[in-house]
Amino acid sequence: MQMMKLGKTGPEASRFGLGCMGMSGMYGPSDRSESLATIAAALEAGMTLFDTGDFYGMGHNEILLCEALKGGKRDKALLSVKFGAQRDPGGNWIGFDGRPSAVKTALSYTLQRLGTDYIDIYRPARLDPNVPIEDTIGAVADMVKAGYVRHIGLSEVGAETIRRAAAVHPIADLQIEYSLVSRTLEDKILPACRELGIGITAYGVLSRGLISGHWQPSKGNVAGDFRSHGPRFQGDNEARNLALAEALSKVATAKGMTTAQAAIAWVMAQGDDIMPLIGARRRDRLAEALGSAAFTLTAGDLAEIEAAVPKGSAAGSRYAEAQMAHLDSEK
């Protein structure tokens, strides 16, 4: 497994990270045994960064990771945890809480569920519009001083917010959606991160499966799968986006790659400071994703891929309108 440094001040990490969200019901039912086996396979392959959130399955994902890392495996893993998203018992999203007291309370519960005494990278999942980012990051910085957190990250925030946060405490990385069909960070956010020495952990590299080569239109109708409400997975938008995936598939096949491998390799080719988060729930999907490391895309390859999936060609926004309104990264 190739390694990388996560930003100027962050830890050494594997070139790929494992995004564990889908193991806790966000994409419909998941198989617990297969989830645990997938995490084990990731560790065996040399992956070190495991990304979770305290609101994934309302603690379920953290408890799952705790189980997967028993038996001395915790020291082999970097735990990247998002906090602050608020959900009601029905699973509805009801806001974000970035108050210092809420930050420290959330961390207390996370440490308990993960069965650990420190978190490697702790990050607010979104910007709380009612709390200055300096206050939220300052609270996490207090936890760094106390030894409960090793590094601070950010998620889905814009360039101005990144600069304000970095003025309070060094930021290891920004977690943000980045793929062939989600490229808005390239204009202002990515340059700001590179100026400040902040790494990128890119989630949604396959646009939640849409450009993986495996998506079938009926899949989004599974109970509990939030993709069924996503604009890119609905009606004509879905058909147009699947046509992009098919165009990508033709380019990939000609180069001996799967569609997913081409999409992931494209993200990797955008810079050594960018870590793709692989959202695999199964060992076969994980193995396919890791296989993308075997390919080095030339300038010609990149041009062909981008001709198949031009910037801005995706139909529909990456989240529903209400959620997009809460994204500081999209303002």
Task: Give the residue numbers marked as catalytic.
Answer: 56
Instruction: Judge whether 166 and 192 are in contact, CB under 8 Å.
Output: no
293, two tokens:
């490391």
- Please state, in angstroms and rounded to a whole number, the distance separating the CA atoms of residues 62 and 115: 9
The Cα 239–Cα 258 span in angstroms is 20
Helix H or strand E segment including 55: none
| Partners of 122 in the β-ladder | 81, 152
The number of angstroms, rounded, from the C-alpha of 91 to the middle of its chain's C-alpha atoms is 20
SS3 label, residue 90: coil
DSSP secondary structure code for residue 46 in this structure: T
Question: Which residues 6+ apart lie within 8 Å of 1 measured at CB?
Answer: 14, 15, 16, 45, 46, 47
Based on its alpha-carbon atoms, the radius of gyration of the chain, rounded to whole angstroms, reads 19
Contact 155, 81 (CB under 8 A): no
CA pair distance 314, 327, nearest whole angstrom = 18
DSSP 3-state of 270: coil
Q: Where are the beta strands (DSSP E) in 54-137?
A: 78-83, 85-87, 93-96, 119-124
d(CA 152, CA 173): 8
